[in-house]
Amino acid sequence: MAEKLRTTPTREQLRIWRDYIETAHVLGMRLGSRLQSESSLSSGDYQVLLALSEAPQHTLRSSQLAALIEWERSRLSHHLGRMEKRQLIRRVPCAGDVHGVDVIATDTGRDAFRTGSVPHLRAVRELFVDALTPEQFAHLDAISRALRAHLRVDPAEE
């Protein structure tokens, strides 16, 4: 009659949780280190250069870039600093807006991106795509959506 109110996960759920997080993490690291060895880029560098490569003039306002790749501004600032030191991008004050900075991929940056791009995509296929069936893709897609949707409302609910 009295149904036990379960406030904490079962052992099984906890195991699945940990496997989920851990697997995603390991996969990310693997991809990252392959990218690194093939093109001397980190995943962060790659995301930045990818966004720039799709922008007119290989150029974006820092704030737009941040929005595109969904990074905090401070994180982007730090990262751009590091990338600038390695000559992958340049930052120039933005004409027409006193604040605001244009981020531009240098030739070096574009080369590195081109070099890394195909091997990186191939690695995604090898490490991720090749491991799953079409049904599993659909399931995973639904799961990610569900989790993200839940995240969005969670702070208020319960």
Query: Does the protein bind DNA through residue 42 (CB under 7 A)?
Result: yes
Query: Does the protein bind a copy of itself through residue 151 (CB under 8 A)?
Result: yes
User: Tokens for 5?
Assistant: 């109110």
Measured from the CB of residue 131, what is the shortest distance to a copy of itself in angstroms?
4
Query: Does the protein bind DNA through residue 146 (CB under 7 A)?
Result: no
What does the DSSP 8-state code read for residue 103?
A: E
Q: Which of 33, 108, 136, 144 binds DNA (CB under 7 A)?
A: 33
Q: How large is the angle between the packed helices 73-85 and 43-53, nearest 10 degrees?
A: 90
Query: Does the protein bind a copy of itself through residue 146 (CB under 8 A)?
Result: yes
Pairwise CA distance, residues 80 & 96, whole Å: 22
| Contact string (CB under 7 A) for DNA, positions 61-100, x = contact | xxx--x----xxxxxxxxxxxx--------x--x--xxxx
- Choose from DNA, a copy of itself, none: what does 82 bind? Cβ within 5-8 Å by kind: DNA
Comparing CA positions, the residue from 99, 72, 86, 78 lying closest to residue 36 is: 86
Measured from the CB of residue 102, what is the shortest distance to DNA in angstroms?
8
Which positions ≥6 away from 119 have C-beta within 8 Å? 34, 35, 38, 39
Cα-only R_g, the chain: 20
Pairwise CA distance, residues 11 & 85, whole Å: 48
- Number of shown-chain residues binding a copy of itself (CB under 8 A): 50
| Contact yes or no for 55/48 (Cβ under 8 A) | no
Q: State the residues that interact with a copy of itself by CB under 8 A.
A: 6-9, 12-14, 16-17, 19-28, 30, 70, 118, 121-122, 124-132, 136-137, 139-151, 154, 158
Q: State the residues that interact with DNA by CB under 7 A.
A: 29, 33, 42-45, 61-63, 66, 71-82, 91, 94, 97-101
